């Protein structure tokens, strides 16, 4: 799980990064504060930690810019204690707010809660995959913005299963069981073909590999 840290206090940014790495997160710290959106696109994080007082433009500005291209959860970390700032943070698309100074265990708890809400409990709603690409869990359909991307029934089953378990690995056996719930029989060779075709569709839409293989174990969404 990748976390992007947007904090100009290098000491605090380093402390947060070291702490989160110890808990198994992959962290990236912004270095170019005049091109945050470009770095965001390159890194493709699953969560953003956003300070408000930043060089060039403030966190409200960058949150609004990120919201134009992504639904990734954003957790504000700021010394501003005024309720108007907190209201503005939420209005610009933030998901939560932690006031400095804070205990790192509180930060971890906030992060875990946001990730749980976003990536575990939204299978019936919307599952964000990146670059405005998302799954509508209720319709079991894939969308790029407002446009639905055509998937066969079997491809939808595979994608939903991978999304439900993200970021964990889904074995071929689990995928076969999910596919057997459809009307068609799927052989081991057919599963390989379906995975390849789904990979190609996702690659075409977002320009990168979305489905990764863990040798000897199965597949996962990255």
Q: Are residues 104 and 135 in the same domain?
A: no
In terms of residue numbers, what domain contains 167? 126-221
Of 59, 94, 119, the domain-final residue: 119
Q: Are residues 81 and 153 in the same domain?
A: no
Kindly write down the DSSP assignment for every residue of 137-198, as one continuous string: TTTTEEEETTEEEP--HHHHHHHHHHHHHTTS-B-HHHHHHHHHTSSS---HHHHHHHHHHH
How far apart are the two ends of the chain, measured CA to CA in Å?
Answer: 9
Q: Are residues 42 and 111 in the same domain?
A: yes
The total number of residues written for the chain in this structure: 222
* Strand order from edge to edge, sheet including 74-78: 26-29, 2-6, 47-50, 74-78, 96-99
Q: Which two tokens stand for residue 104?
A: 């790192």
pLDDT for 50-89, tens place per residue?
998 888 888 888 998 888 878 788 999 988 878 887 888 8
Q: Are residues 107 and 143 in the same domain?
A: no
CATH number where 165 lies = 1.10.10.10
Q: Are residues 31 and 75 in the same domain?
A: yes
Are the CB atoms for 73 and 28 separated by under 8 Å? no
The reported pLDDT for the residue numbered 183 is 46
Domain count, the chain: 2
Helix (H, G, I), strand (E, B) or coil at 219: strand
Query: CA angle at residue 81 from 43 to 10, to 5 degrees?
Result: 40
pLDDT for 201-216, tens place per residue?
888 877 778 899 988 8
Q: Are residues 183 and 213 in the same domain?
A: yes
Q: Are residues 29 and 72 in the same domain?
A: yes
Q: Which two tokens stand for residue 25?
A: 């997160």
User: How far is 191 from 169, CA to CA, in rounded Å?
Assistant: 16
Pairing of strands 47-50, 2-6: parallel
Are the CB atoms for 207 and 213 separated by under 8 Å? no
Say what the alpha-carbon torsion angle 9, 37, 146, 161 is, to the nearest 10 degrees: -60
Are the CB atoms for 52 and 59 separated by under 8 Å? yes
The reported pLDDT for the residue numbered 14 is 92
CATH number where 86 lies = 3.40.50.2300
The reported pLDDT for the residue numbered 27 is 92
The reported pLDDT for the residue numbered 16 is 92
* Per-residue tens of pLDDT for the chain, all 222 residues: 789 999 988 999 999 999 999 988 889 999 888 889 888 888 888 899 999 888 888 888 899 888 887 878 899 998 887 888 788 888 878 888 888 888 899 899 989 888 877 765 544 567 777 667 787 766 667 887 777 888 887 888 888 888 888 878 888 888 887 777 554 566 788 888 889 998 998 888 777 788 999 888 899 988
Of 119, 147, 164, the domain-final residue: 119
Residue partners of 100: CB distance under 8 A and separation at least 6: 12, 77, 78, 79
The reported pLDDT for the residue numbered 204 is 83
Q: Are residues 46 and 143 in the same domain?
A: no
Q: Are residues 98 and 134 in the same domain?
A: no
The reported pLDDT for the residue numbered 131 is 64
Of 119, 153, 184, the domain-final residue: 119
The reported pLDDT for the residue numbered 74 is 92
The reported pLDDT for the residue numbered 196 is 92
Closest CA to 23 of 51, 50, 44, 3: 3
């Amino acid at each position: 799980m990748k976390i992007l840290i947007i904090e100009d206090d290098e000491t605090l940014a380093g402390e947060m990064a070291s702490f989160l790495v110890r808990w198994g997160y992959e962290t990236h710290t912004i270095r170019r504060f005049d091109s945050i959106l470009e770095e965001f696109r390159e890194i493709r994080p699953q969560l953003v930690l956003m300070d408000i007082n930043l060089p060039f433009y403030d966190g409200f500005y960058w949150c609004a810019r990120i919201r134009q291209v992504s639904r990734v959860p954003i957790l504000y970390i700021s010394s501003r204690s005024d309720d108007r700032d907190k209201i503005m943070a939420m209005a610009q698309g933030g998901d939560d707010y932690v006031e400095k100074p804070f205990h790192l265990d509180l930060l971890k708890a906030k992060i875990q809660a946001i990730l749980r809400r976003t990536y575990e409990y939204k299978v019936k709603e919307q599952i964000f995959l990146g670059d405005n690409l998302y799954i509508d869990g209720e319709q079991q359909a894939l969308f790029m913005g407002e446009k639905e991307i055509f998937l066969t029934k079997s491809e939808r089953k595979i994608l939903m299963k991978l999304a439900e378990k993200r970021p964990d690995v889904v074995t071929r056996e689990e995928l076969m069981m999910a596919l057997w719930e459809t009307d068609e029989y799927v052989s081991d060779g057919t599963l390989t073909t379906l995975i390849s075709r789904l990979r190609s569709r996702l690659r075409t839409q977002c320009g990168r590999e979305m489905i990764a293989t863990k040798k000897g174990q199965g597949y996962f969404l990255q």
